[in-house]
Amino acid sequence: LQPVTYNRNIYFDTSPQAVSLYLLYNHWLPRVLVYFFILVDMSLAVFEEPAVLPLPTWATMLVELLCLLVFTVRLVHYAKVIPRDKFWKDPKNICIICIVLTLIDMIIYGALTATNCYALRWSRVLRPLLLVNVTEGRQLRRAFRSIRNALPEIFYVFLLFMFSVLIFSLMALKLLGKRGLKTMDGSPYFTNYLEIVFDLYVLVTTANSPDVMMPAYNASFIFTLFFILYIFINTYIFMSAFLAVVFNNYKKYLKEEVRQLVRAKRHKMVRAFAVLQERREEGGELVVTQANWNQLVRLVQPDISNAHRELLWSVCDDKNQGFIGKLAFVQLADLLNIEVITLKSRPHPLQSICPTLYLSAPSRLLCRLVQHRGFTIMYDVIILANAVFIGLDEENPMISNSEWVFLFLYLLEILLKLYVFEPRSFFSKHSFWNWFDTIIVVSALIATIINSALKSVGGYTSRQILDIVFILRVLRLIRVVDSIGRFRTIINTLIRIGPAILTFGQLILVVYYIFAMVGMELFKEKVKFYDEDSNDPAKAYCGNPLLKGTTFAQLNYCKNNFNNVMSSFILLVELTVVNQCNGFATVTHVSARIFFVLFHILVVIVIINIFVSFVLEAFYVEYSVDKGDLQTSLERKIEELELAVAQWYRTVDAFLQRMFEADLDPEDLAENDDAEAQTNFANPSFSSV
């Protein structure tokens, strides 16, 4: 029996057959397979027209069919696991629609291509929805839910913002349109209302600042007042308002999810208690015995040690009665979340092998030296010296040979530390920097040796290996931040954000994928890139005469195009940073700007703001945990009181919990299990009580 850590909240039958189906469903192999096929399905974009690596259409369609088959099998399995009526209500089954639509599209496309008609694979935008909607994409669905929740509020601010842009545009038209001003390229300035609206919208993204204002400024400095007011209201106030709305919603729904999660957990623990309960004596209360409890814990977390289990039991059964009541039993889930660090002062293996040598005076001195602060400082100085050497020209043989010295010094450091500290604790799960150091130094050693070998044998250096060597060398320098305490808080926060960033990565991937697919259909081959040494005259205007003389061509942006999925993704990243799209409106039609405005709204206004909210909240938590040494004693006293209040609040919550348990619908609580990881992170005090 593997520990069941996934899909704890899906609703399944408790008959033995259904349970075994459920366990198979949660087995790691089918889950990994589904992920693999989603990846394959999405990466088909690399091989389909317009392709990075072209493959015949029949091949990609065959692979896609295979993927669809796998998804269908997975869905059928899921349908068998959960009750029929629940299955049809599940919003996750958007997948079914996606699969059917994709099939229809493939048939149409196949038929049209066979008859040599123009055909469009429109169903490709549906592919990322599979990533969202397979049951494994729980975190991603939560992110989407959080966007959906924030949307109404964002929408109202957005309406007001657009109203403001429209009013300002009308004012600009009236104030500037009749003055006969000209833009840089000689076209009339601010005479078309829709053009003004678009220009002012882009000004909010700061992409065309100060260009859009220069003609008016050149005419009179009074007009800058208009632009300054506009930038102040729309760029600063409204963009902050978007962030504020997203941030508030984020916090509100985070709280709500945590609350639901806690409720769902208790509800399940009460159900588990009902299964395990027995009556010790006639008329006495219902209890769970230690034997049953032990069996349960062994089943749920087989990797827990006996001593640890005994400890947990003694916490639950504080009166040492041999059984526990409902209230103590419900704690179990929280107890299992507490990380018990077993601090065994294991002797160093060398001490057991050769005690006399290891405990001799010189050896002890060495240990003391390595543990001394001076040792760390010395190595920080070495790292700084190394930074200087990296910056110097590596063609100089002295410099390139110094690399060996540094490698030797770093290796020596690791070996010395391994001599002094117990290896298993040195390479423990929490020693991020030890792992980092060792991996970087060993890889650098290997890469440098390969590089030297290549050089001495063939007399040439592989550019790729040299690049890797350089990157590894530079990465080594990062280690220096660990020595400074103030940096560690920040770094720890950033490392903790890591897992959540992966979710954002997926979210961005989904949105980029959809926009890339649409963008490729709209703009493929409109802008062409010519090699550096190409002599084609079309190179000067990116292969499209419409671009002649535009800033797009002048700035040599030809490679920013939608000609394949790779370029599209890179272009979308650029658009996220600065929304410059005039080139594409020039080569197609003015209405192409809608595509870019939509992208800006969705990615910059919504997703990036959610990301920023997330970072804000993470830092808030980290700082409120770590500020211990900064606060005065008065503040600390107040905080203790606040903690007491929080405890009281929790009691109240428990009371409410019991009050409202009656009208609790387990269906509402589905999909919330993974939130736990999030919760423990967002509110550390929660798991450490």
Which amino acid, 329?
F
Among 313, 389, 611, 681, binds its own copies (CB under 8 A): 611
- Rounded to an integer, what distance in angstroms lies between the CA atom of residue 471 and that of residue 465? 10
Question: Given CA atoms 555, 558, 561, 567 in this order, what sign does their dihedral have?
Answer: negative
Name the residue nearer to its own copies (CB basis): 184 or 275.
184
- Rounded to an integer, what distance in angstroms lies between the CA atom of residue 581 and that of residue 201? 12
Encoded tokens for 535: 């002599």
Contact by Cβ (8 Å): 105, 123: yes
CB of 504 to its own copies, least distance (A): 10
- Rounded to an integer, what distance in angstroms lies between the CA atom of residue 513 and that of residue 525? 18
Name the residue nearer to its own copies (CB basis): 149 or 452.
149
DSSP structure string for 211-250: GGGHHHHHH-THHHHHHHHHIIIIIIIIHHHHHHHHHHHH
Q: How many residues bind its own copies (CB under 8 A)?
A: 91
Q: Does 229 bind its own copies (CB under 8 A)?
A: no
Binding mask 503-542 for its own copies (x = CB under 8 A): --------------------------x--x----------
Residues 132-161 within binding reach of its own copies (CB under 8 A): 156-157, 159-160
Alpha helix stretches (DSSP H) within 524-602: 551-554, 565-577, 582-587, 593-599
Residues 652-671 within binding reach of its own copies (CB under 8 A): 652-653, 656, 660
Binding mask 539-568 for its own copies (x = CB under 8 A): ----------------xxx-xx-----xx-
Which of 609, 608, 598 is closest to 519 using CA atoms?
598
Phi and psi at residue 598, to the nearest 5°: -60, -45
Q: Does 33 bind its own copies (CB under 8 A)?
A: no
- Rounded to an integer, what distance in angstroms lies between the CA atom of residue 556 and that of residue 540? 8
Which of 491, 497, 462, 494 is closest to 479 using CA atoms?
491
Name the residue nearer to its own copies (CB basis): 92 or 473.
473
Cis peptide bond N-terminal to 210, omega within 30 = yes
Among 54, 210, 549, 666, binds its own copies (CB under 8 A): 210
Alpha helix stretches (DSSP H) within 115-238: 127-133, 138-176, 193-204, 214-219, 222-230
The three-class DSSP label of residue 560 is coil
Q: Does 577 bind its own copies (CB under 8 A)?
A: yes
Among 336, 546, 616, 654, binds its own copies (CB under 8 A): 616
Q: Does 623 bind its own copies (CB under 8 A)?
A: yes
CB of 128 to its own copies, least distance (A): 19
- Rounded to an integer, what distance in angstroms lies between the CA atom of residue 106 and that of residue 95? 16
Segment contacting its own copies by CB under 8 A, of 299-307, 344-352, 413-421, 613-621: 613-621
CB of 158 to its own copies, least distance (A): 11
Among 304, 387, 409, 414, binds its own copies (CB under 8 A): 387
Among 19, 286, 494, 509, binds its own copies (CB under 8 A): 494
- Rounded to an integer, what distance in angstroms lies between the CA atom of residue 475 and that of residue 444? 10
Segment contacting its own copies by CB under 8 A, of 110-118, 292-300, 371-379, 469-477: 469-477
Encoded tokens for 144: 């989407």
Name the residue nearer to its own copies (CB basis): 72 or 452.
452
DSSP structure string for 493-514: HHHHHHHHHHHHHHHHHHHHHH
CB of 146 to its own copies, least distance (A): 16
Among 12, 619, 680, 684, binds its own copies (CB under 8 A): 619
Which of 144, 250, 35 is closest to 508 using CA atoms?
144
Binding mask 391-430 for its own copies (x = CB under 8 A): x---------------------------------------
Per DSSP (E only), the strands in 263-329 are: 278-279, 286-289, 323-324
Q: Does 451 bind its own copies (CB under 8 A)?
A: no
Name the residue nearer to its own copies (CB basis): 402 or 425.
402
Segment contacting its own copies by CB under 8 A, of 162-170, 413-421, 432-440, 441-449: 162-170
Among 18, 367, 399, 491, binds its own copies (CB under 8 A): 491
Name the residue nearer to its own copies (CB basis): 125 or 480.
480
Among 578, 598, 677, 689, binds its own copies (CB under 8 A): 578
Segment contacting its own copies by CB under 8 A, of 20-28, 75-83, 115-123, 572-580: 572-580
Among 254, 608, 610, 682, binds its own copies (CB under 8 A): 608
CB of 332 to its own copies, least distance (A): 25
Name the residue nearer to its own copies (CB basis): 113 or 209.
209
Binding mask 635-654 for its own copies (x = CB under 8 A): --xx--xx--x--xx--xx-
Give the CA radius of gyration of the chain: 31
Q: Does 58 bind its own copies (CB under 8 A)?
A: no
Residue 556 falls in which region: left (phi positive, over 0), alpha (psi -120 to 50) or beta: left
